[in-house]
Amino acid sequence: MSSRSGGDSAALYGLKSLFSNDVTRKRTPIESPMSSISVKRRKISSNKADNERNQDSTAKPNIPDPKKHTGTPTVFLCDLFQAMHGIRLQVKKTSELEDGFFYHASQDQISAYTTDIVNAVRENDVCQLRMMYQADPRKVHCTNQFGESLLHRACRLGHQEMAAFLMQDAKVIVRITDDCGRNPLHDTCWNPNPQLEICGWLMQQDPFLFLLADKRGFTPFDYARSQHWPTWKEFFHEHRGYLDAILEDKETLSKFTNDKMPGEASI
């Protein structure tokens, strides 16, 4: 990706914004489990924990009020998680995490990044991409030489149907970064539209994505327009149950906090 300005750089209500990448690096494939998401343009379904938490803030007086919070959406999410679980999360640069933390495409997958498959994503032609996927399921896991995946592109363009197909049907791995250290949530926030549903799906797949900063030190929401911060905060306040999944992966959580893990004995 070419360099984008931090802070007020775009994330809500428009669909076109393209940027290219910088540097190549060696990649080795790894595996990652995927969970299911909703497909249609509808409100993201909530689990039981979501419903229990989506009550009046008086149930937990220390939960930050999205209407009064003055920080960025990233800070709001960290404040929200700390209020819910007593653990302070920390942002990490992708370069600070071991190489195996992210999915990296093989050379064959880089070679599979062809004009026809890119055009299908750009034009939001889910039927065409589905046929390619049925012919060779490996193709949809391709990236260009700079590490940008099909999901990066679909998120950047705000193509909800395409993003849903890639995540649910093709089960592409969302914990993937380009050579600038940007994951698909960065691209979602880069879109000038508020891509709340795509963001919600990504957070359900991997709630750690919002804590990952690119090589410039910018988290995904640092690319969101400041006038839309209240929209993002309201969204995450309503869907704060997404953050519960962070507690389920203590090994990954330990990389994003200096606090004692739940159930960990004091020394």
Q: Which domain range does residue 152 map to?
A: 59-256
Cα 166 to Cα 64: distance, rounded to the nearest angstrom: 34
CB 175 within 8 A of CB 103: yes
| Average pLDDT, integer, range 23-45 | 36
Longest dimension (CA), the chain: 58
pLDDT at 204: 94
pLDDT at 262: 63
Torsion of CA 75, 79, 84, 85, to 10 degrees: 90
pLDDT at 51: 45
Q: What is the DSSP letter of 263?
A: T
Residue 159 lies in a domain: yes
- Helix (H/G/I), strand (E/B), else coil: 248: helix
What residue type is 22 in one-letter code?
A: D
- In this predicted model, which residue has the larger pLDDT, 189 or 39? 189
- Helix (H/G/I), strand (E/B), else coil: 92: strand
Cα 244 to Cα 50: distance, rounded to the nearest angstrom: 9
| Average pLDDT, integer, range 28-33 | 35
Residue 176 has pLDDT above 80, yes or no: yes
Residue 157 lies in a domain: yes
Residue 144 lies in a domain: yes
Residue 63 lies in a domain: yes
Percentage of the chain modeled with pLDDT above 90: 71
| Average pLDDT, integer, range 144-160 | 98
Who contacts 102 (Cβ-Cβ below 8 Å, separation ≥6)? 30, 94, 175, 176, 177
46-55, 134-143, 204-213, 239-248, range with the lowest pLDDT: 46-55
Per-residue pLDDT band at 147 (split at 50, 70, 90): very high
Cα 59 to Cα 181: distance, rounded to the nearest angstrom: 38
pLDDT at 116: 97
Per-residue pLDDT band at 193 (split at 50, 70, 90): confident
The per-residue pLDDT of the chain, averaged, comes to 82
Count CA within 13 A, CB hemisphere, residue 18.
5
Phi-psi domain of 41 (left: phi exceeds 0; alpha: psi -120 through 50; beta: other): beta
pLDDT at 8: 40
The residue with tokens 């989506």 is: 54
Cα 166 to Cα 184: distance, rounded to the nearest angstrom: 12
CB 187 within 8 A of CB 153: yes
142-156, 202-216, 252-266, range with the lowest pLDDT: 252-266
CB atoms within 10 A of CB 142: 21
Residue 221 has pLDDT above 70, yes or no: yes
Residue 53 lies in a domain: no
pLDDT at 13: 32
Residue 92 lies in a domain: yes
Residue 15 has pLDDT above 50, yes or no: no
**How many domains is the chain built from?**
1
CATH number, domain at 221? 1.25.40.20
Residue 36 has pLDDT above 60, yes or no: no
pLDDT at 17: 38
- In this predicted model, which residue has the larger pLDDT, 52 or 28? 52
What residue type is 225 in one-letter code?
A: R
pLDDT at 5: 42
Residue 145 lies in a domain: yes
Q: What is the DSSP letter of 166?
A: I
Cα 165 to Cα 157: distance, rounded to the nearest angstrom: 15
Q: What is the pLDDT of residues 86-106, one digit of tens each?
A: 999 999 999 999 878 999 999
CB 77 within 8 A of CB 210: yes
φ, ψ of residue 191 in degrees (nearest 5): -65, 135
Residue 41 has pLDDT above 70, yes or no: no
Residue 93 lies in a domain: yes
Cα 106 to Cα 103: distance, rounded to the nearest angstrom: 10
